[in-house]
Structure 1
Amino acid sequence: MKIFAHISWLFATIVIFASLALMILTFYFLPKPYSRKLSAWIIRLSTLFHVDVEGEEDPKAQMFLLNHQSDLDIAIMETISRRDLAWVAKKELFDIPFFGLSLKLAKDIAVERESKTSLIKLVRDAKHVLDNNRVITMFPEGTRSTKEKMLPFKSGAKMVADKYKLCVQPVILMQTSKYYNVKNLYYKPGRIKVIFLDSFIADKSDKDWLNNLREKMQRTYDNELANNPSHR
């Protein structure tokens, strides 16, 4: 079974990189953001995973905040939203072949960890994204967590949302590392559930809203895990 899972992972990984290459080749020929959407749909269809959506995307949302477990997460979000998403990612990811170029072409936002200067740049870049009617899309944990507990949320999301009084919508991805896990070289097709929570307007007078949001997202995740055996 492990050998089959590793072979499946290799196939899924080849599909992901081939789709990124297609996105790069078609970027200047297709209207934004369709080259990225096309790439994401190829990944989703070729790797045979189905997405169930609970709740509704707020068409007025200016920022999506997602938990992060797997490299599938970006493709999932791109296929369930028609919006032009501007991803916030670690600066070092922009240097990875294919993946980094796809981020640069789409003019996504690069941030450096633990850099105050980078946070200032994040706020400035976010304004440019908003002016172009794109949706800031972030993993506030800052990195993948393959466990069932979300990592502490980084302050960058709150800084940007507070600055521009953004309409923020939390999005929960259930157990995506169960289907594609880079560390374990593991992949299997399946049904992935996405939960859209209610959106809200960021209020900088509430200093704890980001921490409270993490707790709310974790409670929703835990309840879904407890009440839906298919996630286990």
Structure 2
Amino acid sequence: MKIFAHVNWLFATIVIATSLTILILTFHILPKPYSRKLSAWLIRIGIFFTVEVQGKEDPDAQMFLVNHQSDLDIVVIETITSRDIAWVAKKELFDLPFFGLIMRMAQDIAVERESKTSLIKLLKDAKRVLKTNRLITMFPEGTRSTKDTMLPFKAGAKIVADTYKLRVQPVVLMQTSKYYNVKNFYYRPGRIKAIYMESFVADKSDENWLKDLRVKMQKVYDDELANNPSHR
């Protein structure tokens, strides 16, 4: 079974690389954000996974906060919304020769975790993308967690949301690492579930709203895991 999973991973990775190449080639030809959407849909169709959506997207949302387990998370989010997404990611990813080029072309938001000026730049970049009505999307855990317990949320999401009084919508993705895991060279087709939670306007007077949100998102995740046998 592991051999088949590794073969599937290789096939999926080739499809992903090909789709990203198409993104680069069409980026300046197609209107935004169609090159990204095209690439994401080619990946989703090409590696045979489907997405079940629960809840509704808030068309007025200005920020998505999403739990992070797999590289597939980006594809899922890009294909369940028609909005032009501005991804927030660590600067190291922007320096990569292939994936980084895509993020630089799209003018996504880079975060330098060890830089003293990083917060100022983050706020300036967030203001820039908000002016163009792009949807800021962050993985508040800051990195992938392949377990069923979400990592503590980083403060950056709260600072941006509080500063601009953003309407935030949490999105819970179920067990995406179960289907595609780069570290284990593992892939298998399946049905991924994305759960839209209720949106809210960030309130800077509530110092704990981000911590409380993690608890709420974890509960949604745990309840879905307990009540839906397909996730086991």
TM range (shorter): over 0.9
Residue number in structure 1 paired with 2:48? 48
Residue number in structure 1 paired with 2:225? 225
Shift of 1:160: 0.3
Residue number in structure 2 paired with 1:151? 151
Which moves more between the two structures, 88-97 or 102-111?
88-97
Residue number in structure 2 paired with 1:173? 173
Aligned equivalents of 1:186, 1:23: Cα separation in 2: 24
TM-score between both structures, scaled by the size of structure 2? 0.99
Aligned equivalents of 1:229, 1:97: Cα separation in 2: 41
Residue number in structure 1 paired with 2:125? 125
Shift of 1:137: 0.3
Deviations 1:28-70 (A, max 9, x none): 0000000000000000000100100000000000000000000
**1:142 matched to 2:142:** yes
Aligned equivalents of 2:5, 2:87: Cα separation in 1: 29
> Which residues of 2 match residues 15-164 of structure 1 at below 5 A?
15-164=15-164
Shift of 1:95: 1.6
Q: Which amino acid aligns with 1:10?
A: L
- Alignment check: 8 A CA contact 1:17 1:98 kept: no
**1:214 matched to 2:231:** no
Q: Which amino acid aligns with 2:153?
A: F
Aligned equivalents of 2:145, 2:115: Cα separation in 1: 22
Q: Which amino acid aligns with 1:60?
A: D
Gaps of 5+ in 2: none
Aligned equivalents of 1:111, 1:121: Cα separation in 2: 8
Q: Which amino acid aligns with 2:220?
A: T
Gaps of 5+ in 1: none
Shift of 1:97: 2.4
Q: Which amino acid aligns with 1:43?
A: I
Q: Which amino acid aligns with 1:148?
A: D
Shift of 1:17: 1.1
Aligned equivalents of 2:151, 2:14: Cα separation in 1: 29
- Alignment check: 8 A CA contact 1:69 1:144 kept: yes
- Alignment check: 8 A CA contact 1:171 1:194 kept: yes
Which moves more between the two structures, 174-183 or 114-123?
114-123
SS of residue matched to 1:171: strand
Shift of 1:116: 3.3
SS of residue matched to 1:28: coil
Q: Which amino acid aligns with 1:173?
A: L
Q: Which amino acid aligns with 2:155?
A: S
Shift of 1:194: 0.2
Q: Cα RMSD (Å) of the superposition?
A: 0.6
Aligned equivalents of 1:154, 1:196: Cα separation in 2: 21
Identity of aligned residues (%): 74
Deviations 1:101-123 (A, max 9, x none): 11000000000124331111101
SS of residue matched to 1:194: strand
Aligned equivalents of 2:200, 2:49: Cα separation in 1: 30
Which moves more between the two structures, 156-165 or 12-21?
12-21
Q: Which amino acid aligns with 2:151?
A: L
Are residues 84 and 153 of structure 1, via their aligned partners in 2, closer, same or farther at CA, if it must alter by over 3 Å? same
